[in-house]
Structure 1
Amino acid sequence: MQTTEPFAIVGMPRTGTHYLEELLNAHPNVSSNGELLNPYDPIWPDRARLLRSDRELLELAYLHHPTMTGNPHLTHVGCKINQPQFNERPGFFETLAAWPRLKVLLVIRRNTLESFRSLVQARQSGQWLKYGPDNDDSRPPPQVMLKIEDCEAYFKAADDFHHLILSSFSPSSVLTIDYETLRDDPASSLKAVSAFLGISNHPCSENTSLRRQEVRSLRQTVLNFEELRRHFEGSRYDSFFEAQGG
């Protein structure tokens, strides 16, 4: 029987889900155990687990999770799943949605173009996360060219995914978290998450070793920014191209 409360952190790639997980794991009653469906996640070294059924995988995450032993104060256990991982494992979402008492933390980045830009940068550089001090002088991520059709497909995938989450769970079981608020005011986001999960508002540190990889504007990092801006002008996505400095 499940003695802890389950939750899942979900979102499109590059929307701050890892940062949220690190902040939550500073709470003494919470353990979020990485990307369950990622074969390279260091928390889950046994890649053979992915050969298990969807139900067995979730039992592994919520009933036999890695940090259960040695923490008698644990009350909430979670994992992180990004949208492409659901696509790679058809049927898994339906099994997750049926899990008893599940709470869902949906992280949304206001500008989906920034999410896609960051994803392409990470694919090109091979650097998915950055750790270190604030004065780290490592090179910035590469500038990128984004195809119009790829942007259209990604924007639609984000819209569809957010709709799927919000329509598949009751309103009381989903908390939408704004990426920009999480980044700029993590204390207020953590307060909302604590109330949603039903845990104490623990004074978690807002500082982690995780660092932002890109601080430049879209205009400075997307080589064909003007081409994209002209294409999407007047569309439902034209706001993604507003107020870009540089």
Structure 2
Amino acid sequence: MQRSGSGWFETLLNSHPNISSNGEIFNRVDRRQNISSIVQTLDKLYDLDWLTSAAKNECTAAFGFKWMLNQMSVLCHVTLMIPNFSKSQGFMDHHDDILSYLNKKGVSVIFLFRRNTLRRLISVLANNYDRDAKQLNGTHKSHVHSEEEAEILAKFKPELDVSTLVSNIRDVEKYMGDCLDSFNTTRRMILYYEDIIRNRNALFQVQEFLGVPVRKLVSRQVKIHTRPLPDLVRNWEDVNSRLNGTEYARFLDGADYVK
């Protein structure tokens, strides 16, 4: 899912010498325009013919990529897929054929979600704003590597449309559930962004799932929206009023994010 920490998670994985994740290989339309182009792209990856600056082909334990759930992520000996949500990149459009391919190849899938979809929505809106505003010296950055850059981007407070807020959250959660139902026969691990933040053992469990030696994983990325929720939204009172009394009131907890 877009803005669920998949970029950060991938940098953590790639800090391991035996893991190579090659980014969003299906961000190009020609690689996902039909099932034939998808399979051709996957075959190239699994034949270790994927030569990019992100490739680490000397890796012999786990290799793969990130595929937005509108793409997905995959690694092999152990193969890893880190599905992510944004605009469709063929993942759900051809899920039966893709599922068959993944099972045949013995692919292991890591589904990365965010429990607090309200925080994800705030991050999406802020990121969309910066695509046009280009707040960092005229450059758009979805991820940053300094506290100064993070502070600049965090100053923008989006205004949420409360009339569609509940339906938007419900649609995202339904999409997550549909995806898990569609790929319930793969060897998979379901991981949440909040668990990586809070649980020091979460990344150990990921490495055990991938069958690689357990070690400390690191990333140079700096988190942007770490403040309490009321400090991140321009119309917080309206948002708070709309979600209170609903099943999504749990997202209003300001302590949801632990830095």
Q: Same fold (TM over 0.5)?
A: yes
SS at match of 2:153: coil
Q: Is the 8 A contact 1:54 1:95 kept in 2?
A: no
- In structure 2, relative to structure 1, the CA distance for the partners of 1:59 and 1:92 (3 Å cut) is farther
Q: What's the counterpart of residue 116 of structure 2?
A: 111
Alignment check: 8 A CA contact 1:116 1:154 kept: no
User: Is 2:144 the counterpart of 1:139?
Assistant: no
1:204 aligns with 2:216: yes
Tell me how far 1:179 sits from its aligned partner.
1.1
Q: How many residues align?
A: 223
CA distance in 2, matches of 1:227, 1:196: 42
| Residue identity matched to 1:31 | S
1:13-162 alignment runs, 5 A limit: 13-39=2-28, 48-51=30-33, 53-63=37-47, 64-66=49-51, 71-85=57-71, 87-89=88-90, 91-98=93-100, 99=102, 100=104, 101-126=106-131, 127-132=141-146, 134=147, 138-141=151-154, 142-162=156-176
- 1:37–1:153 CA distance, 2 compared to 1 (3 A): farther
Paired with 1:227 and 1:69, the residues of 2 have a C-alpha distance of: 46
Supply the AA of the counterpart residue of 2:213: S
Query: Which residue of 188, 195, 201 maps to 1:181?
Result: 195
Say whether the 8 Å CA contact 1:83–1:161 is kept in structure 2. no
Cα deviation code 1:149-179 (max 9, x no counterpart):
4433431232123212322334772211121
CA distance in 2: counterparts of 1:188 and 1:160, whole angstroms: 28
Structure 1 residues 106 and 137 mapped into 2: Cα distance closer, same or farther (>3 Å)?
Answer: closer
Amino acid at match of 1:30: I
Q: Which is worse superposed, 113-122 or 228-237?
A: 228-237
CA separation of 1:233/1:66 partners in 2, compared to 1, >3 Å: closer, same or farther? Answer: same
- Residue 219 of structure 2 is aligned to residue 214 of structure 1: no
Please give the secondary structure, in 2, of the residue aligned with 1:22.
Answer: helix
Shift of 1:115: 0.4
- Any conservation in 2 of the 1:116–1:151 contact (CA below 8 Å)? no
Deviation larger for 81-90 or 191-200:
81-90
CA shift for structure 1 position 20: 1.4
> What is the letter of the counterpart of residue 146 of structure 1?
L
Q: CA RMSD in A?
A: 2.8
Q: Which amino acid aligns with 1:167?
A: D
Deviations 1:100-150 (A, max 9, x none): 312111122221100010011001012311123x46575133100111244
CA distance in 1, matches of 2:150, 2:243: 35
Separation (CA, whole Å) in 2 of partners of 1:172 and 1:84: 18
Q: Which residue of 2 aligns with 1:9?
A: none
Aligned sequence identity (%): 23
1: CA distance between counterparts of 2:33 and 2:206? 33
After TM superposition, the structure 1 stretch with the greater mean CA deviation from structure 2, 58-67 or 231-240, is 58-67
With normalisation by structure 2, the TM-score equals: 0.74
State TM-score, norm by structure 1: 0.77
Do the aligned partners of 1:21 and 1:32 also contact (CA within 8 Å) in 2?
Answer: yes
Unaligned segments of structure 1, at least 5 residues: 1-11, 40-46
CA 1:171 to 1:200, structure 2 compared with 1: closer, same or farther past 3 Å?
farther
1:238 has 2:249 as partner = yes
